[in-house]
Amino acid sequence: MTILDRLVAFTFLRLFVVSILATPPLFILGNLTEKLDDYLDAELTLGEIARGYFFNLPEYFQWSFPMAGLIAAVFTVHAMTTHREIVAAKAGGVSFHRLVLPILVLGTALAGLALATTDLVPLSKRKASAILEQRNLSREWRSDFVYQTEGGLLLAVQRLETLRPRMSGVGIHHPGRGPDSVAVHAEVDRALWLPEEERWEFENGTLRRIWPDGVQSSSRFQRLRVPALVERPEQLMEEVRDPEELTYDELERQARIVERGGGKSGELRTKKEQKLAIPVATLVIILLGTPLATSAKRGGAAYGIGISLGTTIAYVLLLKVSGAFGAAEVLPPTWAAWLPNGMFAAAGLVLLARVRT
């Protein structure tokens, strides 16, 4: 790494750190202004509100990464343009592409760091919701609910307990896997979770089989194993969450459940893909902002701020529009999530190619 590389890298990182620390308070202030009446109605203390926003910080930092990276790249390059440092570097045989290479390398590293926090954000957001929205995430029981498992079973449960994991009053229905398959229905008094074997065991019930021609048979049983039921007690305890509170794998699982029930999973699958696309946007937006900042014909700081705000707003709008297309299943979820990144990356590469080196 040359002295010039260290100068560019240090300037970029210094601006990035300042931006990443300055941005979350803006999110907090905006959210607090909107939700303050709700917090007062819920009689939350100042300490509870502060603790809730503390757990929201990973989400705010992840949102801030692309914006902070863009601001750092724009002000680093624009300042070097204004002070004729880029001209001096070119005179010394250093091309513009080589000059900004440290920024692109650091942008790649920051995108990887943002990706590493992808599953931390929803877990932290759940804790924030438990405090700010008074949700009970550690309940000991749940009653009168229906749950569709990954194995295609439909459970109707009167009561589920988690201290000594068990279910009582359980109805199990499996419609079969095709028009010629046998449907199975069972009414069970209770089910016990066997932690050493990681499975449920059903006790005392009636099993009924229904053939495609309408013929039925029934039998009593003392014990029954259901291999298709692989969900643990804590998974059965979960209620429908906001997609922002689901991890990448949980979004996939929830999408499959919705699809098995005949629903549309476009929104969930688009959200799942966006969990990867938004962190990668840190690098993509830096790639676009770097060549945009080379113009010295306009104002200094005001020009840099204008580029940063304009690019961020354009990206957010495109993300919302393409996300809506994905949710409505007009576009495939992967396309909808990655379309803004693709368009901005293409524009950035074109601008980089047109910069005089």
Integer-rounded Cα Rg, in Å, for the chain is: 27
The structure's pTM equals 0.71
Question: If you average pLDDT over every residue of the chain, what do you get?
Answer: 84
**The token pair that represents 162 in the structure block:** 């988690």
Task: Give the tens place of pLDDT for each residue, 11-65.
Answer: 999 999 999 998 888 889 988 888 888 888 878 888 888 998 999 999 899 888 9
Can you tell me the distance from the alpha carbon of 201 to that of 204, in angstroms, rounded to the nearest whole number? Answer: 10
Residue 138 has pLDDT above 70, yes or no: no
Residue 357 has pLDDT above 80, yes or no: no
What sections of the chain are H helices per DSSP? 3-41, 46-82, 85-91, 96-99, 101-116, 120-132, 233-237, 248-260, 266-292, 301-327, 333-354
Which is more confident, 181 or 207? 207
Give me the pLDDT at residue 209, please. Answer: 87
Using alpha carbons, select from 23, 12, 59, 66 the residue that is nearest to residue 281.
66
Count other Cβ atoms within 10 Å, centred on residue 308.
Answer: 23
Indicate the Cα dihedral angle 290, 295, 298, 300, nearest 10°. 50
At 94, is the pLDDT very low, low, confident or very high (cuts 50, 70, 90)?
Answer: confident
Can you tell me the distance from the alpha carbon of 126 to that of 109, in angstroms, rounded to the nearest whole number? Answer: 27
Q: Which of 89-93, 189-193, 234-238 has the highest mean pLDDT?
A: 189-193
What sections of 117-232 are H helices per DSSP? 120-132
What is the amino acid identity at position 33? T
Give me the pLDDT at residue 112, please. Answer: 93
Contact 344, 285 (CB under 8 A): yes
Query: Is the Cα dihedral 34, 39, 45, 48 positive or negative?
Result: negative
- Residue that the structure tokens 């979770």 belong to: 193
Can you tell me the distance from the alpha carbon of 26 to that of 34, in angstroms, rounded to the nearest whole number? Answer: 13
Residue 238 has pLDDT above 70, yes or no: no
Q: Is 130 exposed, middle or buried (0-12, 13-18, 19+ CB in 10 A)?
A: middle
Task: Give the tens place of pLDDT for each residue, 171-197.
Answer: 988 877 666 778 888 899 999 998 888
Give me the pLDDT at residue 252, please. Answer: 87
Count other Cβ atoms within 10 Å, centred on residue 320.
Answer: 11
Mean pLDDT of 259-268: 76
Mean pLDDT of 141-147: 81
